[in-house]
Structure 1
Amino acid sequence: SLLLTLPSVAWCARPFFRGAVGALQTRTLHMDLPIAVGILAGFIQGSFNIVFDRGEIYFESVTALIFLLLVGRYVQQSQQRAAAGASELLFSLSPSTARLVEADGVREVPIEALGEGSIIEVLAGDTVAGDGIVVEGRSNLDRSLLTGESRPENVIEGDKVHAGTVNLSAPLRIRIEEAGEETRVGRLMRLVEDGARRKAPIVRLADRISGWFVASVLGLAVITLLIWFPLDPDHAVEHAVALLIVSCPCALGLATPLAIGAALAAAARKGILIKNGAALEVLARSGTMFLDKTGTLTEGRMRVVRWWGSERAKGLIAALEAQSTHPVATALVEAFATEDCPKAAHIHQTTGAGIVGMVGGFRVAVGSTTFAEELLGGPLTSDVAVQVEAATAEALTPVIVIVEGEIEGVAAMGDPVRSDTAPTLAEVKHRGWRLTLLSGDHPAVVSAVADHIGIAETDAKGGVSPEEKVETVRKAAGKGPVAMVGDGVNDAAALAAATVGIGVHGGAEAALAAADIYLARPGVAPILDLLEGARRTLKVIRRNLILSLTYNITAAALAMTGHMSPILAAVLMPLSSITVVVSSYRAKTF
């Protein structure tokens, strides 16, 4: 038994001995200290009894103790999150090649070949490879990756553009000013790393009482030895060793990681992937919750929210817009397309304004109000103007449809709020969380969404840049627990800066890498499951701590009074751990 136990003590228990030595060097009481003392005391006393052929041998208990503690430590450490490197995140967001414009033509080159002053060509549908200035062309850019703005932005010569944005409608030539990690998206990824490093570790409940527990166990062992030595020197050491063995903090050490590990497994089965188990402790309480809008509270893409007009116009719209790659065109085709949709011809598209063409013998035009007024040669009729004003008041984009010189319809376009958003947020507020909406979208749009979902206007902030999001979250985190819910690259740094970052279904890779928790189910309803699961998990942790402390106090009292032999201590010690295991894995947390 001695030869079989020696490798376990000398090799497997090294993490606990290192922790104990570190605790002594820094003059702090750490839970590894009584663990190391208990392991050594049991092993030394057992070895002593073998040599002198007397008393009990504790090798089985020592080996079981080391095994169970290593299992608990593995569970705990395996759940710790690791942030991806900035270069890896940047690679996932930017193209690996670019179309470099040279004197003899255009050729494709690696992104690393770009430098300040390089001219690149970005075709419709391509992603911009670096930060720079448009020197030729005009088009629409999808900037939602960086700003959260759900509506495309029109760019012309002289406008600043950023890496990671998508060119939607026409070729552009751009003079590069920054490339690679020096771009805006590259700097955001560095903020993600900085936020992950600066995030203070959450102190677990077991750690909060470990100082008291360690001091108590060691002190009681000394007291037991001092009391019994004058009375019965032959059994004084046995009683002290029995106390250390039976009170060894195995159950206490397992109370938190086992409960968290069981909760993480249950959450994963519910589509909630938790990378940092310590986040559950924060979410079990209340604090401030910041919410992104586009793609988080809304569906993240343009749709026809309301239609006013004739049924005939729908098919004509779908046929004409099928020839365009603009997000508004895609939404119109999705809403109005039919199997017998006619073909469009003689198409002319004006970037940022509208499109005109012939469909089934009819001249059809679809575009903005300004575009429509230019085609009609005058203002809109009163009934159409009413529809336009109604759409604008709801932060929707009105699209006018003209057939043979007459207005036949108005489509109100927007990014619809998810159906589960309002009821979910109402319940979150009921649980004590203060909700704040942070979005890069236009303030009018943000205000309309906030009103729809029940967030006060003072807590709805639009036109917020990614850098401003980070600063806002950091300031709030300095005052109390903060949760950030988002989905885009523009949210990634804020997710890392928050006490707990929550990435929603369909989010950008960088945001999910920065988040502590990923909701694999669509919508925001899983947030309620997350908050309730966190509350139940903390309840299980507290129950485990109470069970382990009750066991330790009772067992310590029996050992100190001489009513517990070392062999009984060896039997009872694993039972306390088994109790905690059963308590953790039988609990219904998620």
Structure 2
Amino acid sequence: MEAAIIKPCLYCQSLTSLGPYCCEACRILDSEIGPIPLPENNHPYLYLDQPEFKKLYLQNDNQYLFFAEGLHCSSCVHLLEKLPQFYEGIESARVSFAASTVAVALKPGASLAQTAFVIQELGYRPVPLSAQENPAEKYLQENRSFMRKIAIAGFCAGNTMLFVVPVYAGLAGGLAQIFNWMSFILFLPILFYSAQPFYRGALNALKYRVVNVDLPITIAMLSGFSFSTFNLIRGDGAIYFDSTASFMFLILSARYLLKRVQQSYLSPSRLQAFLDSSHFVRIKGEKHENVPLKSIQVGDLLSINEGQNIPCDSELLSNNALIDMSLFNGESLPKNFTQGMQVFAGTKVLNNNVLVRVQSSFADSKLGQLLLELDKGSLQKSEFIGVTDRLAQKLIVTVFATAAIFFTAYSFIDFSEAFNRSLALLVLACPCALAFGSPLTFGLAIKKAQKLGILIKDSSSLERILKVQNVFFDKTGTLTEGNLSLSYTEPSELPADLKNKILSLEASSYHPIAFALRKAWATEQKLQKVENFQEVLGSGLRGTIGHDLYEIKSVGESMHDSDIAVEVSCNGKLLARIYFTDALRNDSAAAVQNLAARNVTSYILSGDKKSRVLEVANKVGIAPARAYGGLFPEDKQSFVQTFAPACMIGDGANDSLSLQTADVGIAVKGSVDLSLRHADVYLTRGGLKPFLDFLSLADVTQKTLHRNLTLSLIYNLIGGILALAGFINPLMAAVLMPLSSLLVILSSIWGFR
């Protein structure tokens, strides 16, 4: 079988094997839609260009946030993220599918009014949000509005069914005609109120020549109403008010169900879950008060108890604190912080009564910024989503064409039956489940990953990891613990004063060596003042204590191959050498074996010297020919490029180039926010077990995607045949249609149980 050719989409440049375009939205955007002009008057958003309103709705850096009412599938996401195509004043647009919001960055001097108007013209009702407003409140309002439409449709459909029971039982004559007219009147609220969301979608489809699910639903409803009204007026023929009303009630209910599932399961990663305390102790003078997270302000003095998470980025005021940094550096062992060092929101305190001074709000903290970063990738356009989007488009066209051809041909035999069967087909063969299944599956996978300590920036990495043929491991902190421990010193006993000077130099350093020394030489002795302090990443640090210049430098080649060494000097005179060891992770060999079972080749790329790299390679089962040492970041990047498709697993800071270059970049160590700028995945748990969990999760995701796709296609095929054969009438079709969506939802939830 000939392999699919993967090429960039002609519009958005996303890789696709589906043809010149990755989805219908990109095809339309590239060829048929241009800028949308703003009318000079008579539109409801002119007020937004007044200075006071632009100031009110400004989020930050010329960015504005709109709640987009009516956003209900991944095609909506792709369309709204192309807003710059419709108005050149828009620099970028980012959609949060779960929150139904679109964040728009405007160019200087651009019109906020035109931005809102363009969103409306694309078929969505834009509601600008101020920085203080919560989008969740807006989609709760949308939910209530939808519930009102469902309630009215349900009331009208239920009462219509009561009026047609006597007619079906054989009632005829004038009384039957009265009951039919009552059904007509009861259908009008559905026609003019409950069906409004479908009208907007259908008009948008016609206006921009885009095929969407609202178009056949609207045509089916209007056809049923029109034929029924025509037959009612002439006093002869079938009446479909009951089945059409029930169809609309069930369609609305199914869409509401999908909306709630979207809000529940596709919401972006809420990392506030790491802040497991409902309140924090704030100190004001002699007063201690319990306050919630939202009441904490910059400058507040907080007392953090053992087991609590620090709520905001803060300055440590206590002499020292033992802090679990696993969320930020992937390391399981806690770190010893000293007075004056910065501690971060989301990290856990492991001793009691730790005093901190708040330096930023939660939203501006590293953790808060990470939350925003993950929101951006909560529904990236993956290849499988592109496949299902296009299949959904083709299904709509195929069903619509089949219904039209069947109705035209069969109407010569039995007009009423031809209409019944064609309407049943349009009602039954709904692509909602097909289009919704893939985003739902990826959303559930991302949430499952978070529970496993895996932060996924881009959901498409769950697809790409299964295509990887080569995996490159960094050594230090990836295959090894990365938590250095003091081995020995030369001379074997160092004077207490020299230890104090070394600790004073290392007091402000976040380097693993600094943490190892603070752990080994924990002391209550007051540290000395260091002037002209300077730290050079990867080289060492220096500073003046008294009148002497002290330096701590790394030793490139120690006397013992398995040890890492630094030397301490004063005014250029060597005082001591200090040696550290870095133990191998206990799950490194298992990770390599797992990859070998998948026919994936493993490599080591390290900046450490060759002898240490070969020693680790031998222990984990990687051939010496695939273990490379003494590499610079550019060398690692070159290897990853040469052996694509590849996955790089390493330090988010030191390996940023290769993480960015790899098809899938996985950071297991380093600053979490920096890591997720360069990598697709960040592991908050130590070791490589989370990497194996990520591979298993990718397998489950792929199986669930394929199962959902198969269920949707089989349902539509069998249902369509039965509808055209006359075994399913429009009312039965309306009952069966939501079942396909429910089946896909249950299949997805069961897959990640």
Which category describes the TM-score, using the shorter chain as reference length? 0.5 to 0.7
The question of 1:261 aligning with 2:443 is answered yes
Cα separation, partners in 2 of 1:462 and 1:9, compared to 1, 3 Å: farther
Cross-structure match for 2:595:
428
Report the Cα offset of residue 495 of structure 1. 3.1
Whether contact under 8 Å (1:486, 1:495) holds in the other structure is yes
Cross-structure match for 1:278:
460
The question of 1:527 aligning with 2:691 is answered yes
Whether contact under 8 Å (2:484, 2:581) holds in the other structure is yes
Whether contact under 8 Å (2:444, 2:752) holds in the other structure is no
Whether contact under 8 Å (1:46, 1:59) holds in the other structure is no
Measured in 1, the distance between the counterparts of 2:394 and 2:738 equals 22
Measured in 1, the distance between the counterparts of 2:634 and 2:396 equals 44
Measured in 2, the distance between the counterparts of 1:395 and 1:19 equals 67
Whether contact under 8 Å (2:428, 2:734) holds in the other structure is yes
Cross-structure match for 1:437:
604
Measured in 2, the distance between the counterparts of 1:210 and 1:561 equals 23
The question of 1:454 aligning with 2:636 is answered no
Query: CA-to-partner distance for each residue in 1:144-189, whole Å, 9 max, x for gaps?
Result: xxxxxxxxxxxxxxxxxxxxxxxxxxxxxxxxxxxxxxxxxxxxxx
Cross-structure match for 2:219:
41
1:45-444 pair list within 5 angstroms: 45-49=223-227, 51-52=229-230, 53=232, 54-55=239-240, 56-57=243-244, 58-67=247-256, 201-204=382-385, 206-207=388-389, 209-210=391-392, 213-214=395-396, 216-300=398-482, 302-304=484-486, 306-307=487-488, 318=499, 321-325=502-506, 330=514, 333-334=517-518, 336-337=520-521, 389=559, 391=560, 393-394=561-562, 396-397=564-565, 412-444=579-611
Report the Cα offset of residue 258 of structure 1. 1.8
Whether contact under 8 Å (1:42, 1:59) holds in the other structure is no
- Code of the residue aligned with 1:63 in structure 2: it is L
Query: Secondary structure, in 3 states, of the residue corresponding to 1:273?
Result: strand
Cα separation, partners in 2 of 1:214 and 1:458, compared to 1, 3 Å: farther
Aligned residues: CA RMSD: 4.8
Report the Cα offset of residue 13 of structure 1. 6.4
Higher relative contact order (CA 8 A, sep 6+): 1
Aligned residue pairs, count: 432
Cross-structure match for 1:510:
674
Whether contact under 8 Å (2:653, 2:670) holds in the other structure is no
Cross-structure match for 1:579:
743
Report the Cα offset of residue 262 of structure 1. 2.0
Measured in 1, the distance between the counterparts of 2:555 and 2:705 equals 62
Cross-structure match for 1:170:
none
Report the Cα offset of residue 451 of structure 1. 3.7
Query: Secondary structure, in 3 states, of the residue corresponding to 1:237?
Result: helix
User: Normalised by the size of structure 2, how large is the TM-score?
Assistant: 0.48
Unpaired runs of 5+ residues, structure 1, are 26-31, 81-191, 356-364, 372-386, 402-406
Measured in 1, the distance between the counterparts of 2:540 and 2:596 equals 42
Query: Secondary structure, in 3 states, of the residue corresponding to 1:277?
Result: coil
Whether contact under 8 Å (2:489, 2:578) holds in the other structure is yes
Measured in 2, the distance between the counterparts of 1:459 and 1:64 equals 57
Measured in 2, the distance between the counterparts of 1:7 and 1:514 equals 49
Query: Secondary structure, in 3 states, of the residue corresponding to 2:697?
Result: helix
Measured in 2, the distance between the counterparts of 1:79 and 1:342 equals 46
Report the Cα offset of residue 571 of structure 1. 0.4
- Code of the residue aligned with 1:397 in structure 2: it is A
Measured in 2, the distance between the counterparts of 1:203 and 1:541 equals 8
Cα separation, partners in 2 of 1:353 and 1:74, compared to 1, 3 Å: closer
Measured in 1, the distance between the counterparts of 2:428 and 2:555 equals 82
Cα separation, partners in 2 of 1:78 and 1:17, compared to 1, 3 Å: farther
- Code of the residue aligned with 1:436 in structure 2: it is Y
Cα separation, partners in 2 of 1:558 and 1:570, compared to 1, 3 Å: same
Measured in 2, the distance between the counterparts of 1:43 and 1:328 equals 67
Query: Secondary structure, in 3 states, of the residue corresponding to 1:295?
Result: helix
Whether contact under 8 Å (2:667, 2:682) holds in the other structure is yes
Query: Secondary structure, in 3 states, of the residue corresponding to 2:666?
Result: strand
Query: Secondary structure, in 3 states, of the residue corresponding to 2:455?
Result: strand
Report the Cα offset of residue 268 of structure 1. 1.7
Measured in 2, the distance between the counterparts of 1:292 and 1:491 equals 8
Query: CA-to-partner distance for each residue in 1:511-540, whole Å, 9 max, x for gaps?
Result: 223333222222221011111111112212
Query: CA-to-partner distance for each residue in 1:334-385, whole Å, 9 max, x for gaps?
Result: 46436699999xxxx9x98999xxxxxxxxx9999999xxxxxxxxxxxxxx
1:531-542 pair list within 5 angstroms: 531-542=695-706
- Code of the residue aligned with 1:38 in structure 2: it is P
Query: Secondary structure, in 3 states, of the residue corresponding to 2:517?
Result: helix
Cα separation, partners in 2 of 1:581 and 1:335, compared to 1, 3 Å: closer
Measured in 2, the distance between the counterparts of 1:476 and 1:370 equals 32
Aligned identity (percent) is 28
Q: Which moved more, 1:260-269 or 1:330-339?
A: 330-339
Query: Secondary structure, in 3 states, of the residue corresponding to 1:537?
Result: helix
Cross-structure match for 2:733:
569
Query: Secondary structure, in 3 states, of the residue corresponding to 1:545?
Result: helix
Report the Cα offset of residue 545 of structure 1. 1.9
Report the Cα offset of residue 504 of structure 1. 2.4
Unpaired runs of 5+ residues, structure 2, are 1-186, 233-238, 270-372, 543-549, 570-574
Whether contact under 8 Å (2:428, 2:737) holds in the other structure is yes
User: Normalised by the size of structure 1, how large is the TM-score?
Assistant: 0.60
Query: Secondary structure, in 3 states, of the residue corresponding to 2:471?
Result: strand
Query: CA-to-partner distance for each residue in 1:479-498, whole Å, 9 max, x for gaps?
Result: x4x33323333433443443
Measured in 1, the distance between the counterparts of 2:263 and 2:642 equals 34
Report the Cα offset of residue 550 of structure 1. 2.0
Cross-structure match for 2:41:
none
Report the Cα offset of residue 427 of structure 1. 1.9
- Code of the residue aligned with 2:517 in structure 1: it is V
Cα separation, partners in 2 of 1:511 and 1:316, compared to 1, 3 Å: same
Cα separation, partners in 2 of 1:240 and 1:200, compared to 1, 3 Å: closer
Cα separation, partners in 2 of 1:41 and 1:388, compared to 1, 3 Å: closer
Whether contact under 8 Å (2:384, 2:438) holds in the other structure is no
Query: CA-to-partner distance for each residue in 1:229-285, whole Å, 9 max, x for gaps?
Result: 222112212211211210111221222122222222222222222232222222345
Whether contact under 8 Å (2:652, 2:668) holds in the other structure is no
Whether contact under 8 Å (1:395, 1:444) holds in the other structure is no
Query: Secondary structure, in 3 states, of the residue corresponding to 2:655?
Result: helix
Report the Cα offset of residue 40 of structure 1. 2.2
Measured in 2, the distance between the counterparts of 1:581 and 1:521 equals 30
Q: Which moved more, 1:513-522 or 1:236-245?
A: 513-522
Measured in 2, the distance between the counterparts of 1:353 and 1:64 equals 64
Query: CA-to-partner distance for each residue in 1:96-149, whole Å, 9 max, x for gaps?
Result: xxxxxxxxxxxxxxxxxxxxxxxxxxxxxxxxxxxxxxxxxxxxxxxxxxxxxx
Whether contact under 8 Å (1:399, 1:413) holds in the other structure is no
Query: Secondary structure, in 3 states, of the residue corresponding to 1:504?
Result: strand
Cross-structure match for 2:722:
558
Cα separation, partners in 2 of 1:264 and 1:367, compared to 1, 3 Å: closer
